Amino acid sequence: MTRWLSYLLLPLSWLYAGVMAGRNWLYNRGWKQSVAFAEVPVLSVGNLRVGGTGKTPHVAWLVEWLRQQGQQPALLSRGYGRRTQGYRLAQPTDTALTIGDEPLQQFQYFRGQVPVAVSENRVVGIQQLRQEKPTLTAVVLDDAYQHRRVQPAFNILLTEQQRPFYEDFVLPTGRLRESRGGAARADVVVVTKCPPHLSPQAQAQITRRVRRYAQPEVPVLFSCYDYGAPVAVPGTSAVGQPGPEVLLLTGIAQPEPLRQYLAGAGYHISQHARFADHHAFSAEEISGLAAQLQPGQCVLTTQKDAARLLEPALAASVAKLPVFYIPIEVRFLADGAARLAALLTPYFPPHAVV
C-alpha cells in the first residue's frame, strides 16, 4: 500500500477504530452481555492483527500441555472458510469445507482424541460441547480475542515479531482488527516467529513497547518455530523423502518464514504458487501445478494447506502429485514454556484432574 493511499484511508480507519472502541466500551461497562463459564476454564488464543501470527501451532501447544496435565480439553473455533453454519462437532468424514481448514488440521493432528467443534456463536458452542462431552475440563477458543460474548478465564494475545501490533494501524490503513489498546485485555502476550537466538536486549526492548498498551507487568513471552521432516500427504503419489528441487504451494497469510527455512535446509524453490490465506484450491489450479512439475521435483506445502488438498473434489488431481507437508511445532525461548505453565496451573487444581 502506497503512502498516499494510506493517508486517504485514514478516515476509514478512524471510523472503524471508533466503532470497535465503542463496542469494547459497552462490553467493559457490562451493557453488552459477556458470559463466563466458571465450571470449565475457557482459554482464548487470538491476536489484534488479521492473519499470520501463528495461532494454529500455539493452540496445538496449549491443548497438548493441557493433556499432559491430565486435563480433557476441547477446541472451539468459528470455522473460518467452511460452507456450513451453526454448531458442528468434527467427525472423521468432515472436510475443510464442512468445518474449516484449521479445525480440520487440529482434528487430524490430535487424531480425533481431542473434541474439535465449530460455531459462529462461541457461547452456544461451549454450551453444546459441555452437553455432548460432560467430562471436559477446559475449552480452548481459537481466534476469539475479539469475540467478547465469552469472557475467558485466560486471554493469550499473539503478535508476530516481524509485524508487531504496536507498529501497525487499524483496518483498512493497516491490518489491526481493533486499536492497539485492545492489548490491555491480555493476560499474557506471546511474541511469535522469533529467531531462535533472539537476544535478551531485543526481548527487553520488545517487552517495553508491548507494555505501552498492555497491562503493566503483563508477562511477555517469546516463541519460535521448529520445523519437522517432510510428511507425505495421504492420497498423493509422494513416497520416501523429497529431493532438493521443489515447488512450494501455500495458501497462508505469511509464507516467508517457511521459505526462509526451506532455503536454509537446502531446498531450491523453482516456483512458489502463492494463494491467499484459507484459499479453496480448485482442480484446475492443482492440474496447472502438475503441468509445471519437472521430473524429480515434488510439491512442498503446509499442514493447513494439506488439509484443504484432501477435499474429495480434488482427489483425482492431487493423486498425480508427490506432495509433502512441513510440520511445525512451537518452542518457547528461554523459560517461556515454564512461565506460561505457571500462569495456567492455578486454573486447574489437582481435584479437577480426571
* Domain carrying residue 259: 229-326
Q: Are 345 and 227 in contact (CB under 8 A)?
A: no
User: Cell 482459554, residue?
Assistant: 43
Q: Is the pLDDT of residue 228 over 80?
A: yes
Question: Taking a C-beta distance cutoff of 8 angstroms, is the pair 90, 74 a contact?
Answer: no
Tell me which DSSP letter residue 166 carries.
Answer: G
**pLDDT band of 139, cuts 50, 70, 90:** very high
> Which residues lie closer than 8 Å to 330 by C-beta, 6 or more apart?
54, 57, 58, 60, 61, 192, 223, 224, 225, 226
The whole-number average pLDDT for the span 55-77 is 97
Residues 16 and 123 in one domain: yes
Tens of pLDDT along 98-123? 999 999 999 999 999 999 999 999 99
What are the pLDDT digits (tens) for 268-284? 999 999 999 999 999 99
Domain shared by 68 and 198, yes or no: yes
Q: Are 114 and 106 in contact (CB under 8 A)?
A: yes
pLDDT range class, residue 2, cuts 50, 70, 90? low
State the total domains in the chain. Answer: 2
The SS3 of residue 222 is strand
Q: Are 118 and 103 in contact (CB under 8 A)?
A: yes
List the grid coordinates of 347.
486454573
Tell me the three state secondary structure of residue 193. coil
Mean pLDDT (the chain, rounded) = 93
Diameter of the chain measured on Cα atoms: 63
42 forms beta bridges with 139
Tell whether 38 and 80 lie within a shared domain: yes
This model's pTM is above 0.85? yes
Helix (H) or strand (E) holding 28: helix 3-29
The reply to whether 313 and 341 lie within a common domain is no
Same domain, 217 and 234: no
Residues 33 and 119 in one domain: yes
Please check whether residues 65 and 146 belong to one and the same domain. yes
Domain co-membership, 286 together with 221: no
39 shares its domain with 138:
yes
Are 62 and 83 in contact, with CB atoms under 8 Å apart? no
Which pLDDT score, from 0 to 100, does residue 1 have? 58
CATH number at residue 56: 3.40.50.300
306 lies in the same domain as 161: no
For residues 17-26, give the mean pLDDT.
93
